[in-house]
Structures are given as C-alpha cells and as structure tokens.
Amino acid sequence: MNRTAIITGAGSPRGIGQGIAHALAAQGWNIAVLDIDEVSAKAVADAVAEAHGVSAVGAVCDVTDKAAVDAAVSTVESSLPEIGALVNNAGITSPVPFVEVSDEEWDRVFEVNVRGSYLMTKRVVDGMVSRGFGRIVNLSSVSAERGGGVFGGVAYSAAKAGLLGFSRALARELGPSGVTVNSVAPGLIDTDITAGKLDPERKAAMIADIPTRRAGQVSDVADVIAFLCRPESSYLTGVTYDINGGSHIH
C-alpha cells in the first residue's frame, strides 16, 4: 500500500491516537501523526516508523486553526505518499455540569471536537474524491449515545453527538466518490484522559456494570479503526461502531 493515514491528536504516549497509528502502520499505511505538541508527535512518528518499517512524520497542528491545519497537511503532502485515510481523533473532554459550564468552556469543547474534525476533513477530502478513494473515521463517544454518564458532561456529549450527524450526512454525500465516512464510539478506555481522574470506587462500579467486566484498551479501539480503513471495507459507510464491552446496547 502506498498511501498515508493522518491521525490527529496522536501524540500522547498512552492515548488512543498512537494506538491507531501503530495499528494502521501494521497494515502497511504510511503514517502522519498530528498533535498540538510537536515533540510528542515526532516521538510517536519515530516509534511507529521503527516498529513497522513504514514512512512516518510527526507535525504540530492545532486542529481548531485553519491556517495550522493547512500547513500541517501541506507538510504531510510534501513528505509522504497520497493521503488515503483521516482519523479525527483529536478531542477534549469536559466533566463540568451544565449548570456550571461557562460559555468559554462550551465553545472550547466544540472547537476541538467538532470544528477540528470539520477543518481536517475539509482540507483532505477534495484529494480523496479526485483520486476515488478515501477512509474517514471520526471519534465519537458512548456519551453521545447514552446521554453522558461516563466521564464527559453535557458539552462533551453534545459535541460528540454532533460528530455522529456529521459522519452520517457526509457518508451519504461522499459515497459515490469512493470515500467512506464512519464513526467509532468508545466507552470506558484506559488512557491518560481517565487515568487518575476517576476515583477507584467509581471506576470499579463502572466496570461492574460492563458485561465484559473490564475497561477497554487502546488496542480495542485501534483495531476497529484499522478495519474500517482497509480498502476491503468499501461497503461500510455511515456506520457507528460501539466499542464499550456491552455497557451500552441498543
């Protein structure tokens, strides 16, 4: 495969993004790691290249800034083969109760989760359409489907629900062009986002309510995304894969 996959927000060493980068590289994708932390992005890219023998670059990118998005994608285009996949993983959570949330906090959550995904997709989609191939995967959350109650509050749930509508409508529009658009909705996953921020009693109670009786691992999410990005997955579009151990069945 001589295509490149971009993963945003993939600089955290224990995050879902770096797991996605490794899973896609294992399938032969060249990898572009974008993160607001340039040092971390480059470190993950170097680790991916060394582990899988693919080409990988790390670049700084604030996904809420159109000029920054354009600059980062231009770097990828000049350094790696054609862009075939985009995983909009960059996101932030917010457990602030709605009655306490500030206008600034609400806007911040939507800026990163929704506007960031829009700007990245807008920047790469023309090339995908013109080449007749593309895989776009958006990171939603079980919170969007069950109405919070996991870690994020109303702002987070609303933003992640917005990504579901974005994905489904875009899938209809891009279907004739060979570009698929899908979502994944992770439940409780062991990452730096939740590490140390859930008290042990609450985490134990949450796990006791999960049929598989465990929190998810990064690989549980990354493997599904790698599956959706395969060329062979061309008949899957507009779908949402729930990755929650059965905690939310609908």
Residues designated as active site: 156
Buried b (16+ CB within 10 A) or exposed e, 155-192: bbbbbbbbbbebbbebbeebeeeebbbbbbbbbbbebe
Return d(Cα 27, Cα 82) in angstroms, integer.
16
Phi, psi of 59 (to 5 degrees): -145, 150
Return d(Cα 248, Cα 76) in angstroms, integer.
37
CB neighbourhood size of 205 (10 A): 11
Residue closest to 87 by CA, chosen among 34, 42, 51, 40:
34
